[in-house]
Amino acid sequence: MTTITQPAYAKLNLTLDILGQRPDGYHELRSVMQLTSLSDEVELDVGTGEDWKLECDAPGIPTDGANLAWKAAGLFYQTLGKDPQGISIRLQKRIPSQAGLGGGSADAAAVLLALNRHEGQPLSQRQLLKLAAKLGSDVPFCLTGGTQLAAGRGEVLSPLPDMPDCFFLVVKPEFSVSTPELYAALDQEAEVFHPQTEAMERALRQGELLQVAGYLGNSFEPLVARKHPGLLAIRAMMEDCGALGVAMTGSGSALFGIFDAFDMAAMASMKLMEHHQTFLCRNLKAEEL
């Protein structure tokens, strides 16, 4: 038996623009995505000689074949045409679930990276990305990281210049949001908010953090804030503490603020942690994955 470990890094959507429903039922999107240092820890025992199993230290996470990490391991060995002779997966969760941070996708990507390393890199990056796209829209990005433009369902990726170094404060309110319900509600909106993704790309090319922070935006955020006005209070608190910009990530419910100084981000965290989960992290470049 061999034990391997791999960090699973959370993502943020600097912009998330929902462009409408596609003929296949999915929604077309454009999003500038950023990997962060907030991470789960994934540990795998390969060759246990026993039935597959998955353990997780967080309640409410599936511990069977419904878990994306389990699915990733199954798809990897199915692609190799190899029997691993038993796998045990342990997830140490730090990324909150139902937050828009891609925790399940990050775990799946970590499993693919860890198993490919364990087996001697039999699959190329391109082959791994094909597997990742079968698992979920955010998995390809979590596999490659850095700062990228995502299109299609999120699986069509184009590298962008690295985001300038900064600190993020991620705040997870008590409530969560149903992604399918949110898409259905968005389809009924007379006017949908569209963030300035192209302007965000230009800001990244110029390397100006203040400009990057100024172009944050998410098509879902107005809908969620309308139903949960407490988001506006969280936003105001982060801005009062010096956040250069604040936005919701994914379909929520987490908000994140961009700070150029750690002490200011920490001060905002201290003020908000009494009523919400808070997480301090930084941006990660692709080579740090």
Instruction: Assess contact for 234 and 151: CB atoms under 8 A.
Output: no
11 assigned to active site: yes
86 annotated ligand-binding residue: no
Residue 88 assigned as binding residue: no
Segment holding 46, helix H or strand E:
strand 27-46
97 known ligand binder:
yes
- DSSP character for 287? G
Q: Specify whether the CB–CB gap between 169 and 279 falls below 8 A.
A: yes
Q: Is 138 a catalytic residue?
A: yes
Alpha helices in the chain (DSSP H): 68-80, 103-118, 125-135, 139-144, 179-187, 197-206, 209-214, 221-227, 230-240, 262-272
Contact by Cβ (8 Å): 102, 138? yes
**Given the residues 11, 71, 93, 172, the one annotated as active site:** 11
The answer to whether the annotation marks 105 as part of a ligand binding site is: yes
Is 104 annotated to bind a ligand? Reply is: yes
- CB distance 11 to 36 below 8 Å: yes
**Binding site annotation covers 100?**
yes
Q: Is there a binding annotation on residue 72? A: no
Annotated catalytic residue, options 17, 40, 107, 138: 138
Nearest to 167 by CA among 103, 68, 257: 257
98 is in an annotated binding site: yes
Phi-psi region of 51 (alpha: psi -120 to 50; beta: other; left: phi over 0): beta
Q: Say if residue 136 carries a ligand binding annotation.
A: no
What gap in Å lies between CA 155 and CA 130, rounded to an integer? Answer: 9
Q: Is residue 91 within 8 Å of 54, Cβ to Cβ?
A: yes
Active site residues: 11, 138
In the annotated binding site, the residues are: 96-106
In the annotated binding site for ATP, the residues are: 96-106
